Amino acid sequence: MRLELHKRPVASTALSYLAPVIALTLTLVAGAIMFALMGKSPIAALYTYFIEPLLDPWSRDQVFFKATPLAIIAIGLCVCFRSGNWNIGAEGQYLIGGLVGATVPVLFPAFSSPLLLPIMIVMGMIGGGLYAFIPGFLKARFGTNEILTSLMLVYVAQQFVDWMVRGPWRDPQGMGFPGTKQFDDSGILPNLVGTWDTHWGAVFAIIAAVAFWFMLSRTLKGFEIAVLGQSPRAGRFAGFSARQMTIFAFVVSGAMAGLAGISEVSGSVEKLDDKLSLGYGFTAIIVAFLGRLNPIGCIFAALLLALSSIGGESAQIMLGISDRATRVFQGMLLFFVLASDTLIHYRIRLVGRTPAAREGAV
């Protein structure tokens, strides 16, 4: 006896739209059970996670602050995933984008100009795109598994950035702490509101969401992405190149991760240090799928994940639970999103062995 997945002839459109709601509901139920097993009140825990942060002005600001890089990275990943390519290394591209974008203010600290910030942003996107080009090229040219190569490059980026801020780029006046000199004011991304932590990266996320939604749904390039993602063979008959699409998708998603990286470096930390890697590139994978691989949906999904993160920090203080509970919560959300998608498009069947197989076994 074995379980098999059989593709449904027609997937339910209504359930496809309701899948995120179903996944979120199942996550809340599973989370309530988890908190009950931990000896905590499920109602109090869920209130702390999802309601309390919305009532406090500082917490609301932090939700937007954390949602910004998640949304930017996830929007780029939508292009990659919809084209049938699996970029799991956005965290590394995010780090390299921050590193390359910081090159000018670090190497030329006296350079102060209104052009500095645009140069940093462009260089950050180029850095992230070129780093993503590596697994894209390896897959297109040699058929290398992009999941492994993109993931392994994350650890290379982490070690390289850590070495740079502890070695060649370390601020000699920084009392031994790893990190570069503080950027010039012209190289700092302004906050949206004076006392907020949320910076103009949030505006970049909204602009990118609209632009990528238009590209994916209203242009020939978007049609090419959809065709090659659903049926590479049909794409070849239409004259589309799967190899070119692989490189294009990786470079675009890497550039968006690089944009998120330099936005965090210049807007949040205002210098490059060893604390840039916060797992945004991995969490953005959950955001992309929760947003149904739709750039607009990624904005709302990023806000939800950021809310659960801020709520998780509050729960650690208020309820005395571990930070691992927050990670489990996000993991359950991804599991239920993928499970809902799978059951909407596939039917599970229990298949027994055929008579011939049973005779062979005897």
Mean pLDDT is lowest, of 58-72, 107-121, 276-290, 341-355, for 341-355
Q: Is residue 91 part of a domain?
A: yes
CA 153 to chain centre: 16
The rounded distance, in Å, linking the Cα atoms of 262 and 255 is 11
Q: Is residue 14 part of a domain?
A: yes
- List, as one string, the DSSP characters of 3-28: EEEEE-SS--HHHHHHHHHHHHHHHH
Q: Is residue 140 within 8 Å of 246, Cβ to Cβ? A: yes
User: Which tens digit of pLDDT belongs to each residue from 127-142?
Assistant: 999 999 999 999 999 9
pLDDT bucket at 307, cuts 50 / 70 / 90: very high
Considering only residues 321 and 222, tell me which one the structure prediction assigns the higher pLDDT: 222
Q: Is residue 179 part of a domain?
A: yes
Which residues make Cβ contacts (< 8 Å) with residue 266, sequence separation at least 6? 101, 102, 117, 120, 121, 183, 187, 188, 189
**pLDDT at residue 277 above 70?**
yes
The rounded distance, in Å, linking the Cα atoms of 61 and 18 is 28
Whether residue 106 sits in one domain with residue 11: no
Q: Which residue has the tokens 């190149």?
A: 241
Which has the closest alpha carbon to 97: 291, 345, 246, 281?
281
Mean pLDDT is lowest, of 75-89, 97-111, 334-348, for 334-348
Please report, rounded to a whole number, the percentage of residues in the chain having pLDDT higher than 70: 97
Considering only residues 356 and 51, tell me which one the structure prediction assigns the higher pLDDT: 51
Whether residue 346 sits in one domain with residue 201: no
Whether residue 256 sits in one domain with residue 205: yes
Whether residue 101 sits in one domain with residue 53: yes
Q: Is residue 261 within 8 Å of 204, Cβ to Cβ? A: no
The rounded distance, in Å, linking the Cα atoms of 200 and 267 is 8
The mean pLDDT of 193-220, rounded to a whole number, is 92
Whether residue 235 sits in one domain with residue 198: yes
Task: Look up the pTM and report it.
Answer: 0.91
Q: Is residue 269 part of a domain?
A: yes
Whether residue 150 sits in one domain with residue 10: no
Please report, rounded to a whole number, the percentage of residues in the chain having pLDDT higher than 90: 61
pLDDT bucket at 107, cuts 50 / 70 / 90: very high
The mean pLDDT of 142-168, rounded to a whole number, is 96
The rounded distance, in Å, linking the Cα atoms of 42 and 347 is 33
Q: Which residue has the tokens 């109602």?
A: 43
pLDDT bucket at 186, cuts 50 / 70 / 90: very high
pLDDT bucket at 209, cuts 50 / 70 / 90: very high
Is residue 338 classed as helix, strand or coil in its secondary structure? helix
Q: Is residue 326 part of a domain?
A: no
Whether residue 203 sits in one domain with residue 140: yes
Q: Is residue 140 within 8 Å of 248, Cβ to Cβ? A: no
Angle (CA) 293-300-302 rounded to 5° is 80
Name beta bridge partners: 60: none
pLDDT value for 361: 47
Q: Is residue 325 part of a domain?
A: no
Q: Which residue has the tokens 């999802």?
A: 50
The mean pLDDT of 321-342, rounded to a whole number, is 82
Q: Is residue 92 within 8 Å of 154, Cβ to Cβ? A: yes
pLDDT bucket at 360, cuts 50 / 70 / 90: low
Domain range for 131 is: 41-320
Whether residue 342 sits in one domain with residue 211: no
Number of domains into which the chain is organized: 2
Q: Is residue 148 part of a domain?
A: yes
Whether residue 203 sits in one domain with residue 110: yes
Which has the closest alpha carbon to 141: 246, 235, 57?
246
Q: Is residue 168 part of a domain?
A: yes
Considering only residues 44 and 150, tell me which one the structure prediction assigns the higher pLDDT: 150
CA R_g for the chain: 22
Whether residue 261 sits in one domain with residue 203: yes
**pLDDT at residue 353 above 70?**
no
From first CA to last CA, the distance across the chain in angstroms is 16
Whether residue 298 sits in one domain with residue 247: yes
The mean pLDDT of 245-264, rounded to a whole number, is 97
pLDDT bucket at 362, cuts 50 / 70 / 90: very low
Q: What is the mean pLDDT of the chain?
A: 90
* CATH code assigned at 89: 1.10.3470
Q: Is residue 262 within 8 Å of 276, Cβ to Cβ? A: no
**pLDDT at residue 160 above 80?**
yes
Whether residue 130 sits in one domain with residue 117: yes
pLDDT bucket at 145, cuts 50 / 70 / 90: very high
